[in-house]
A = this chain, B = another copy of it.
Amino acid sequence: MASTLSSARPHPLQRLNDEEILKAKDILAKSHDSGESLLFRFTYLEEPKREELVKYLAAEHQVGNTATLPNLPRMVKFVYDVIKGPGEHTLADAVVDIDSGEVVHKQTHPTESQAGYAPFEFAQFQETCANSDMFKEALKEFELPENFTITIDPWPYGGLDPDEAVPRYMQGLVFARDTSKDNLDANHYGYPIPLIPVMDFNKKELIRIDRLATGGKGDPLEPAAASATPKKLFANAKSAEYVPELLDDRPLRTDMKPINITQPDGASFTVEDSSLVSWQKWRFRVGFSPREGAVLHDLCYDNRPIFYRMSFSEMTVPYGDPRPPFHRKQAFDFGDGGAGRSANNLGLGCDCLGAIHYFDAWDTDPEGKPTLSKNVVCLHEQDAGIGWKHTNFRTSRAVVTQLRELVVQFIITLANYEYIFAYKLDTAGNITLETRATGIVSVVSIDEGKTSGYGNIVAPGVLAQNHQHIFAARLDPMVDSYDEGETAVVLEESHPMPTIDPLTNPYGNGYEIRRTPLDMAAFADAEPKLNRVVRLENRSNKNEISGKNVGYKFTPSATQLLLAHPDSTQAKRAPFAQHHLWVTGHRDGELWAAGEFTNQSRAEVGGVKAMVERGDWFAKDGEASNGNAAGGEGKLSTPVVWSVFGLTHNPRVEDWPVMPVEVHQVHIRPADFFTSNPALDIPSTKNETSVLVSGSSSCCDTKDKKADAQQEDPVSHMQGSGPDVKPKDIGSGGKDKDKKRLTSILSGVFGKKE
């Protein structure tokens, strides 16, 4: 696509292209000794510093384009291993300035900092298992039915036990697949084998195979001793097929008639510069990182900024089965694997309907060469039902408009599981963060016929363990101004007035809104009993109607927080998952709710808890009263808000073999940001493609038409517009059914006739 904005120089927020990556990689390689080889793990656009970028953005919006603006450096951040010899890996990261050709930052990390897994490691792990005599020996404990083969799902090793000193491990869940079906997509998750091989990447070998307990209620936590004869598995197992051609006993339903969504005039959005999206007064840039997936930058409405940056930051999935080694089933799907890197290549007509635009992204292979990830983000509009409606009961005139959404969506696959992430912007000025959990629940083996308190039996011998999904979205607000220091965070609650008091609350119905501006970094929980709302406000700009600070607001989701014991490794790794709201001081590059290195972590390092503890303050006019008391690290900052929400997922049988989506939404809504309903100017066009089913008639036809652009069908039966029938004794008045009658009567009060 030709861009109207692009020139030789990409916009500072443009996603990296292959040339840039290649150039930066070469610059970095030259900065290392010839005896060192580099293994590239994650490649990011190093975004400009916020204080520089906001000035650039302010100027861009003022000028209308970037042609005359001074350049900001284009930089690439690499996370990579420096390898001096077999097994001698040192984790490093470096920032390369492509323009100057310089490595502007470089550092190495200690052994305990483990980067997320790269794709090649999953392959390597599986090969290591396949070639392992130890693994073959362990498998002898079991007898599988004929025609079954072994399949292993790589998993992050999880949190380290207190006594472990681990260089870089990976564990795997072991399954069998029925090869008699002659279909590589026969579902192996229906056949779990109670073994977990553990690999050491430095040694390139399996160092241990954990045998798993397969008992039920009342059985010990430890696995039973292996018996002398192989244990027969899957005697009564039931296949768990989901690919349509294998649904033998349950053919596809044939009575679902198509719903087609067509946009005869095309989409209402435009995409310029491969990243700049404009739609219905919204304007933003789509970024993409291998860890976060799609990111929204510089989100504006009517040229007024709202968010500097918006992203999904982290997710932890701790399992609640206390039997070791299941305490190590705790994935950090962003930090351990990379949500962006796990993104599906989306297909037209497959994942969403209508007129779709797709975005690509460049990643790197382990050698640092650019690799194209096609169609990793999709963009489309959709109808979202009635947006607003009002019927004037006096005239029967209804005006009804549809709500429309623009959806920026990406879908990730993490072994068995899928997540669908979406940013939805709508014509009423709302922003919705949506997650949909789907895919295949993680299962382990259980002796047939037993049940467990640690999960649910979803097929004979198959235990789907209880677990949680706890997400953190990172909201970097910039409310109605590119001037730094203008954004404030205020908690707002609705409280009953405490007493019935003749002077303040004579009848006891009064309630009041209490505001608590956050002067300092802090955390808080959802409090639905108080209707706790987070307002993101501009400190200076007042709404000209209400006099209040213009802003946006959201209600923190009251979902269950992390259940693991506070002293557990699971809990120590994820303080972020223990409060619904974190408000921290902005520092460039600080994007990770659970810290940069979650893989094999013992504790959250550099996550939101640490950010709060350093005591940043937000007061515009200098220092907060106790700004530096918290420890000296704090400084005046602009606030970043982290919204934590989740799902305690105690699996249902219905979640098998692929679970129906479990949807969660966070609604971020304008709060006195506008001077009226921003959707007021949406046309109330009658849809001409809708059709009647089974002979009902349309009441639209029977009413007067008032204007071309609207309908005016409905009539409320309630207020006086019904037939003015008078039972014998009910006052005077004729049987005039003229709908204008009431209006005329009342006009008479002031002698005005119409």
Contact = CB atoms under 8 A, between A and B. Distances in A.
A261 B689 contact: yes
Copies per complex of this chain? 2
A411 B389 contact: yes
19 contacts: A37-B729, A39-B730, A123-B742, A135-B749, A244-B709, A260-B687, A261-B690, A344-B713, A344-B716, A351-B400, A351-B714, A352-B385, A355-B690, A357-B693, A413-B718, A456-B672, A494-B650, A654-B677, A656-B676
A105 interface: no
A716 B373 CA distance: 10
Interface string A192-224: 000000000000100000000000000001000
A280 B259 contact: no
Contacts of A675: 653
Contacts of A504: 221, 322
Interface stretch (A44-52, A70-78, A507-515): A507-515
Given A388-B659, A451-B546, A546-B451, A560 B529 contact: yes
A360 B120 CA distance: 63
Nearest to A671: B652
A71 B194 CA distance: 59
Contacts of A83: 727-729
Contacts of A725: 120, 365-367
Give the top 8 A-B pairs by smallest Cβ distance, nearest first. A508-B568, A322-B510, A344-B714, A347-B713, A413-B716, A119-B722, A508-B565, A327-B507
Given A120-B726, A347-B698, A357-B694, A245 B707 contact: yes
A17 interface: no
A190 B526 CA distance: 35
Contacts of A393: 413, 415
B265 A262 contact: no
Interface residue SS majority, chain A: loop
Interface string A654-693: 1111111100000001111111111111111111111111
A375 B699 contact: yes
A341 interface: yes
A114 interface: no
A259 B261 contact: yes
* Most central of A258, A389, A658, A681 by chain B CB within 10 Å: A389
Nearest to A721: B119
Interface string A564-587: 110111110000000000000000
A342 B717 contact: yes
A230 interface: no
A342 B731 CA distance: 24
Contact of A716 (B322, B390, B391, B414): B414
A694 B271 contact: yes
Contacts of A749: 129-130, 135-136, 139, 149-150
A640 B252 CA distance: 36
A698 to B, nearest CB: 4
A390 B149 CA distance: 21
Given A509-B322, A528-B559, A280 B252 contact: no
Contacts of A380: 693
A725 B38 CA distance: 13
A674 B692 contact: no
B683 A252 contact: yes
A180 B740 CA distance: 16
A255 B1 CA distance: 22
Interface in A354-395: 354-360, 363, 365-367, 371, 373-375, 379-383, 385-395
Contact of A322 (B269, B505, B674): B505
A746 B693 CA distance: 55
A153 interface: yes
Given A508-B571, A706-B185, A682 B560 contact: no
Contact of A263 (B259, B345, B373, B733): B259
* Most central of A256, A382, A686, A699 by chain B CB within 10 Å: A256
A436 interface: yes
Nearest to A251: B681
A713 B670 contact: no
A612 interface: no
B698 A560 contact: no
Given A499-B565, A692-B357, A706-B243, A440 B390 contact: yes
Nearest to A436: B386
Interface in A636-652: 648, 650, 652
A634 interface: no
Contact of A680 (B247, B263, B687): B247
B683 A244 contact: yes
A530 interface: yes
A268 interface: yes
A563 interface: yes
A383 B261 contact: yes
A627 B261 CA distance: 56
A655 B678 CA distance: 9
Contact of A179 (B528, B726, B754): B754
Interface stretch (A94-102, A305-313, A458-466): A458-466
